[in-house]
Amino acid sequence: MARLISSLVVIGLLGASAAAFAVTEGLKLERSPITGTRISTAFSPTCGCPTGLARIAFRLRKADSVTATILGPDGNTVKTIARDLKARPGFPHLVWDGKDSSGTVVPEGAYRTRVHLARRHQTITLPNKIQVDLTPPRIVVTRRRPRPLIISPDRDHRRDRIAIHFTVSETARPLLFVNGKEALRGRLTEGGGILYWAGRLHGRTLPQGSFLITLRAQDVAGNRSHASPPHVARIQYILIQAPRIARVPPGRLFFIPVHSDARKLEWRLGGRSGFVRPWKIHLRAPNKRGRYRLVFSERGHRAATTIVVRKR
C-alpha cells in the first residue's frame, strides 16, 4: 500500500512538471504583442527644429487599449504620453516633447518607453533608448583655400570652388551660410572634414560680388552651434580695372588691365573681335573718333568698359 501511494505521488509530480514545462514552452513560442518598433534615437526638445520631438511607433498585432509612459534613466516615471488609447492593429504613432509631467524640460540622459496593454493585462518596456541631448556642438574653421577667397564658378576647373577645413566637437553635420542664408549641408562627420562651396545659393550660381561665409554645425539631435567668424568670399569672373579709358588716339595701341582666371577671353570693340589672354591686354583703337564699348566675355559672363577715341 505504501509503495502504491509513493508511486502515485511520483506520477503526480512528473505530470505537474510536464504540464509546467508545456506551459513554459508555450509562452516561449507565443509571439510578442508588440513588434517593429521605430523610435527616435536622439532629439533635442529645445532646438526648435523638426527633431524637437521624439517619435515613438510600434506595431500592435491585435487591437488593444494602450497606455504609454516615459521612464527616466533611473527607471522612474517621467510622463504619461498616452492613456487608454484605443489602438487598432498596426502602427500607433506617439510623440514626446521632452518634458516631464510638470512641463519642465528633462535633463540629458537615456529614456525608455513603457507600454501597458489593458486587454492583455501586460506591461512591456521597449528596449529602444531615447537620448535627450541639450548641448549644441562646436565648429572651428581651421583652413581656407584658395587664399584670398576669390573664385569663378564657371566650371572650367580653375578656382571653381572654395575648400573650408573644419573640426567639430561631436558627430555633426556642417552647414554653410552665405549672407546668413543656408547654402550647403554637408554629411554627418565625426571630428571634422572639408566643405566645398561652388558659389551656389538655393540652386543658382551667384553673380559676381562679395559674400559673407559662415559655418555652423548641427548634431544628430538637432542642436546647432554658434556661427563661426565670417569670412569674405568674392566671386569674380572678369574684372576690368579701368572702368573708362579716354583720349585714345585713333588706330593706336592701348593697354587695359583685365583680371580673370580664364585661359582666354573673347573681346569685341568697334565691330572687331578676337581672343586674348587676361591680365595685361593690348588692343588697337578704332580708326574713327567716338565712344566705343569694349566687351570681354567668357562662358556666358561679361564685363564692359567705355573707350573714348579722339585726337590728343
Predicted confidence (pLDDT) per residue in 240-274, tens digit: 987 777 789 999 999 999 999 999 999 999 999 99
Q: Taking residues 128-133, what's their average pLDDT?
A: 96
pLDDT confidence tier of residue 189, bands split at 50, 70 and 90: very high
Residues 72-96, mean pLDDT to the nearest whole number: 94
**pLDDT reading at 27 higher than 50:** no
Q: Report the CATH superfamily, name and number, of domain 239-309.
A: Immunoglobulins (2.60.40.10)
Q: Please give the angle made by the CA atoms of 157, 163 and 165, to the nearest 5 degrees.
A: 160
Residue 3 — pLDDT band, cuts 50, 70, 90?
Answer: low
Class of domain 139-235: mainly beta
pLDDT value at 29 more than 80: no
Residue-level pLDDT at 26: 46
145 neighbors 162 (Cβ within 8 angstroms): yes
- Written as nine digits, the cell of 204 is 543658382
Q: Which three cell numbers stand for residue 28?
A: 516561449
Does 109 score more than 80 pLDDT? yes
Which contacts of 73-76 are long-range, i.e. CB under 8 A and separated by 24 or more positions?
73/109, 73/110, 73/111
Around Cβ 312, how many Cβ atoms within 10 Å? 6
* φ/ψ of residue 240, rounded to 5: -95, 120
**If you ran DSSP here, which 8-state letter would residue 74 be given?**
T
Dihedrals phi, psi of 214, to nearest 5 degrees: -135, 155
Average pLDDT, the chain: 90
Q: What is the pTM of this model?
A: 0.78
Domain boundaries, the chain: 35-132, 139-235, 239-309
Overall fold of domain 35-132: Immunoglobulin-like (2.60.40)
Evaluate whether 139-235 and 239-309 have a shared fold.
Answer: yes
For 32-82, the pLDDT digits (tens) are 899 999 999 999 999 999 889 999 999 999 999 999 999 999 999 999 999
Helices in 135-211 by DSSP H: which ranges?
none
Supply angle C-alpha 59, 64, 67, rounded to 5. 85
Distance CA 295, CA 303 (A): 6
The Cα 122–Cα 191 span in angstroms is: 45
- C-alpha 146/C-alpha 162 separation (Å) is 6
